[in-house]
Structure 1
């Protein structure tokens, strides 16, 4: 496999992992990570809170406008082997941002990538799918079908 394809695959794997981790609870991530013997790592950027401006567009394609601000947390972690991971999450949960950054670095590591996918990401993805199915079922249970009868007036 050439380097470009390998890089694209790694980026896709990181993107998929971040999508799952962003929707997981910090406690769930931490519990899953406890099953893996973690390598030495250090904070490159201490977890911190900040604000981002949310932009919107009228109708999805109109002129952009500032919708408002959202609180976010971010962190950066480097493994002893050199991989650097970044973590961002909505809200003020700096611990979750650090856990996401650690997972991001581990996903890039040749030694830990498979274990993180198997023991952390895959179980969290299954939980996320189950939660979404349950929410969809609860929503579907409240669905009301309306129809209109037309009557002829004389």
Structure 2
């Protein structure tokens, strides 16, 4: 098993399968999202990072998840519409997944293993937990839900410059 993120596939909310090898050489910001969460306004900040850094090689990837307080109840098409209408989201959104438990998406099992949380916790604590991945496909950092996207700018710029 490879020790990079490039071993994984994920399905976009339009049904298209994406192989993470397609993102080789890019910096990735992977976020589990929800439409009815107190942190949902972070979509604005994530979209801002996408606009600011996409041409330099940043990909923001949203993974809707309904495991925390049933805050992502909608179907994939509803989630896409909500994000487009309310936050003008242009970065890719994937099919709704689970990030914890036995049905966790393989990519999330990998992210949690590579970047454990506080005190070595392997679980994702809440919506809008963020993982930063460098151009070589290695997870470099995990950010809590409370970390605003703008607070990650320096870390993103550093990885983009490498």
TM score, norm. by length of structure 1: 0.22
Q: In proportion to residue count, which structure has more helix?
A: 1
Instruction: Give me the TM-score of the superposition, normalised by structure 2.
Output: 0.21
Greater strand share, structure number = 1
Question: Higher relative contact order by CA 8 Å / sep ≥ 6: 1 or 2?
Answer: 2
**Which structure has the larger Rg?**
1
